[in-house]
Amino acid sequence: MAEPKQLGAILACKCPRCRQGEVFTHAAFNLRKFDHMHKTCPVCNLYYETEVGLFWGSMYISYGLSVGIVVVVGVLLYFLANDPPTWVYLSAVATIVLFTTPLLFRYARILMLYFFAGVKYKPTYSKR
């Protein structure tokens, strides 16, 4: 079997150690349960919250992603809609951020796991 690539595993919300197990228990747009995570990886048994409060840091990542959305939407509206009134900017940004909240939440946590939790990829790791 081919080794799963890191970017593909991040986009698919897979475990950072084995890149096979699911991190979240439900689909992203299941609005009642989009934030539910497995405590451990179903494949390699990695405990996802490797230290207490690890996911508090993901709020900063989510904020950064939201700022990126604000900038992109603002630039697009400025150039494609000929600098519309302020209420258009506010409405567009609020709507887009609201609809992408489940994705922002998930990818902020996944990026936190991959880049700040100290978990290394081990392709031969097997479940105990």
Got the DSSP string for 52-108? TTGGGTHHHHHHHHHHHHHHHHHHHHHHHTTS--HHHHHHHHHHHHHHHHHHHHHHH
- Position 124 scores a pLDDT of 75
User: What would the pLDDT profile of 47-61 be if each residue is shown by its tens digit?
Assistant: 998 888 888 989 999
Rounded to two decimals, the pTM is 0.85
CB-based contacts of 67, cutoff 8 Å, min separation 6 = none
Q: In this structure, what is the dihedral angle of CA atoms 60, 66, 71, 76, given to the nearest 10 degrees?
A: 160
Query: How do residues 9-49 score in pLDDT, each as one tens digit?
Result: 999 999 999 999 999 999 988 989 999 999 999 999 999 98
